[in-house]
């Protein structure tokens, strides 16, 4: 349970952060998105997407209430439309963000994932069956998994970026007791008969970034709060991606030198 490390001062960022992550540490970079000057642009993408799909009045209301309460303003159909708009717009932009994050951590040569995701996980009482086609995007996964079961490289490093306020009861959960183990799964989730220990959750402020190795067993807390969890996720590999086929590397990963 002692594998969480919080980095406070941006001036202390060194290669040792990546070393810690490769060693199984979970690192939180406080308000790092603001530090690298991408927070405002990413939030603008979300709010302009709301305006394009729902109109300026609804955008203004969501801005007034906070992005965490988007589910109280938009209906299910509008949420899906806004999500798809945001997903399309960040897909081309977030790799640039990841390059800047990697540079800020002292990396020069690395591979960037080209299929970043937005995740708008609404409170349980607002879940709609129409969200099930967006599992892990609008509808939460129920089980824990390791990313290698989803064609993710064995050496990938995950970046989980908070756009809104996130609480332990609606955010990412990591199971540190089984770090380093390759666990049996059903094609996605870790087999239910495997004891993976208790999860660790995280309270995050907008702009905070969690960095953790893709080998960690992890999942989503079932959102029992009154707030939507708004986060973005992406990955890098500091060496050539391993454990996936060449076509997947060519299609989903781009080397940055």
Q: What is the pLDDT of residues 111-120, one digit of tens each?
A: 999 999 999 9
Confidence of residue 110 (pLDDT cuts 50, 70, 90): very high
In a domain, 256, yes or no: no
Report, as an integer, the average pLDDT of 183-204. 92
The boundaries of the domain holding residue 143 are: 4-251
Coil, strand or helix at 224: coil
Residue 36, judged by CB atoms within 10 A of its CB (0-12, 13-18, 19+), counts as middle
In a domain, 243, yes or no: yes
Distances (CA, A) of 257 to 18, 21, 99, 144: 17, 21, 10, 34
Lowest mean pLDDT among 14-18, 152-156, 202-206: 14-18
Lowest mean pLDDT among 28-42, 132-146, 229-243: 132-146
Who's near 53: CB < 8 A, 6+ residues apart? 78, 81, 82, 85
pLDDT of residue 188: 83
Q: What is the pLDDT of residues 62-109, one digit of tens each?
A: 999 999 999 999 999 999 999 999 999 999 999 999 999 999 999 999
Confidence of residue 61 (pLDDT cuts 50, 70, 90): very high
Does 191 score more than 80 pLDDT?
Answer: yes
Instruction: Match 């999860």 to its residue by tokens.
Output: 199
Give the chain's domain count: 1
In a domain, 197, yes or no: yes
79 closest CA partner among 87, 71, 69 = 71
pLDDT of residue 4: 46
CB 177, CB 194: distance < 8 Å: no
Q: What is the pLDDT of residues 114-142, one digit of tens each?
A: 999 999 999 999 998 999 888 888 988 87
User: For a pLDDT cut of 90, what percent of the chain falls above it?
Assistant: 77
Residue 111, judged by CB atoms within 10 A of its CB (0-12, 13-18, 19+), counts as buried
In a domain, 50, yes or no: yes
Report, as an integer, the average pLDDT of 152-169. 96
Give the CATH number, domain containing residue 226: 2.60.120.620
In a domain, 170, yes or no: yes
Q: What is the pLDDT of residues 34-59, one digit of tens each?
A: 999 999 999 999 999 999 999 999 99
Does 235 score more than 50 pLDDT?
Answer: yes
pLDDT of residue 2: 43
Supply the mean pLDDT for the chain. 91
Q: How far apart are CA 153 and CA 29, in angstroms?
A: 23
Coil, strand or helix at 229: strand
């Amino acid at each position: 349970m002692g594998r969480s490390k919080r980095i406070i001062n941006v001036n202390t960022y060194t290669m040792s952060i990546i070393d810690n992550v490769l060693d199984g540490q979970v690192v939180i970079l406080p308000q790092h998105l603001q530090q690298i000057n991408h927070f405002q642009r990413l939030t603008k993408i979300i709010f302009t997407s709301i305006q394009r799909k729902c109109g300026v009045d609804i955008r203004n209301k969501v801005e007034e209430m906070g992005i965490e309460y988007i589910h109280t303003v938009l209906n299910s159909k509008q949420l899906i439309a806004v999500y798809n708009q945001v997903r399309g717009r960040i897909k081309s932009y977030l790799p640039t963000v990841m390059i800047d994050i990697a540079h800020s951590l002292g990396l020069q040569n690395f591979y960037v994932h080209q299929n970043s995701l937005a995740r708008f996980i609404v409170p349980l009482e607002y879940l709609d069956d129409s969200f099930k086609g967006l599992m892990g995007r609008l509808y939460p996964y129920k089980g824990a998994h390791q990313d290698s079961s989803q064609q993710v490289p064995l050496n990938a490093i995950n970046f989980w970026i908070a756009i809104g306020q996130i609480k332990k009861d609606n955010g990412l959960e990591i199971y540190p007791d089984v770090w380093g183990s390759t666990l049996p799964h059903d094609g996605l989730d870790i087999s239910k008969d495997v004891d993976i220990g208790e999860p660790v959750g995280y309270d995050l402020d907008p702009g905070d970034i969690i960095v953790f190795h893709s080998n960690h067993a992890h999942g989503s807390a079932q959102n029992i709060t009154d707030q939507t969890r708004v986060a973005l996720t992406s990955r890098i590999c500091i060496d050539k991606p391993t454990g996936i086929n060449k076509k997947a590397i060519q299609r989903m990963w781009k080397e940055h030198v």
